[in-house]
C-alpha cells in the first residue's frame, strides 16, 4: 500500500548529516542536538521477501523540528506528504484524493516519529550500534511498540552523514533509501509546511 510505505519511510527525514568518525549511536545523538531543519533529494527502491525489485522512485524532502515536514515523490508517480505540526496530509495527484490524520495518530511509535527528533520520540525505539558494513557505520532502530507495522530500520552513516536507510517491514519487504544533496539547517519558508487541498479533490480522514 502506497501510504503505508510512505509514512514509514518518513522516519528518514530526521536522521541525516551527523559528524563523521564517530560511532553510529554518538552520531545520531549529535544530529538530534545540532540539526533543526534539513532538505535533501532521495532515491528509493523496494524489494520483496525474495529480494526482487518491485518499485523504484525518487523525490525530495524537507523538515523542520518539531513535527513539520514535506516529502515529495516526483517519479514514477506524483505524491505529496505534508506535516504541519498538528496534522499529516497525504495527497495522491493521480487519484485526486487527500488523506488527513492527526499527527499523533499518523506517527505514533512508527519510524516516522523519529523525524521529530525529540527525546520522547527516540524513547519509542531501541537503538543498537551494529558496527561497520559495506564501508558504513550502521545503527538499528527497533520499535518498542509490539503493534508497529515494521521490524526495524537500519541507518548507514558515511563520511557525509547518513547515506542509506533500510526499512524492514512486517511483510518481508525491504525499502532502501539513498540520500543525495543533503543540506543541514537551511533557511526555510514556513509556507512549505502548510497544505490546502486542491479544488475538486476528495478529502477523507481527520479533517476537523
Q: Where are the domains of the chain?
A: 2-205
Q: Specify the range with the lowest mean pLDDT, choosing from 99-108, 113-122, 157-166.
A: 113-122
Close Cβ partners of 157 (under 8 Å, ≥ 6 residues apart): 18, 20, 24, 27, 136, 137, 138, 139, 163
Give the CA distances from residue 148 to residues 44, 124, 162, 171, 186, in Å, rounded to whole numbers and listed in that order: 22, 11, 23, 12, 32
Report, at the CATH architecture level, how domain 2-205 is classified. Answer: Clam (2.50)
Contact 49, 172 (CB under 8 A): yes
Given pLDDT bands bounded at 50, 70 and 90, which one contains residue 97?
Answer: very high
With 0.85 as the threshold, say if the pTM is over it. no
pLDDT for the residue 174: 95
pLDDT for the residue 119: 63
Section 93-97 average pLDDT:
92
515494521: which residue's cell? 150
Amino acid at each position: 500500500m502506497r501510504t503505508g510505505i510512505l509514512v514509514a519511510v518518513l522516519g528518514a527525514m530526521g536522521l541525516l548529516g551527523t559528524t563523521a568518525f564517530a560511532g553510529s549511536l554518538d552520531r545520531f545523538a549529535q544530529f538530534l542536538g545540532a540539526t533543526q531543519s534539513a532538505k535533501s533529494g532521495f532515491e528509493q527502491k523496494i524489494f520483496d521477501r525474495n529480494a526482487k525489485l518491485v518499485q523504484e522512485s525518487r523525490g525530495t524532502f524537507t523538515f523542520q523540528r518539531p513535527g513539520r515536514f514535506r516529502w515529495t515523490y516526483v517519479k514514477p508517480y506524483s505524491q505529496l506528504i505534508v506535516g504541519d505540526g498538528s496534522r499529516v496530509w497525504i495527497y495522491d495527484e493521480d487519484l485526486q484524493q487527500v488523506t488527513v490524520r492527526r499527527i499523533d495518530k499518523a506517527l505514533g511509535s512508527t519510524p516516522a516519529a523519529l523525524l521529530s527528533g525529540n527525546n520522547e520520540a527516540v524513547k519509542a525505539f531501541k537503538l543498537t550500534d551494529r558496527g561497520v558494513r559495506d564501508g558504513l557505520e550502521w545503527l538499528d532502530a527497533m520499535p518498542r511498540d509490539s503493534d508497529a507495522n515494521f521490524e526495524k530500520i537500519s541507518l548507514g552513516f558515511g563520511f557525509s552523514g547518513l547515506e542509506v536507510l533500510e526499512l524492514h517491514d512486517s511483510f518481508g519487504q525491504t525499502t532502501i533509501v539513498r540520500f543525495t544533496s543533503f543540506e543541514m539547517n537551511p533557511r526555510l519558508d514556513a509556507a512549505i509546511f502548510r497544505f490546502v487541498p486542491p479544488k475538486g479533490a476528495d478529502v477523507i480522514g481527520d479533517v476537523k
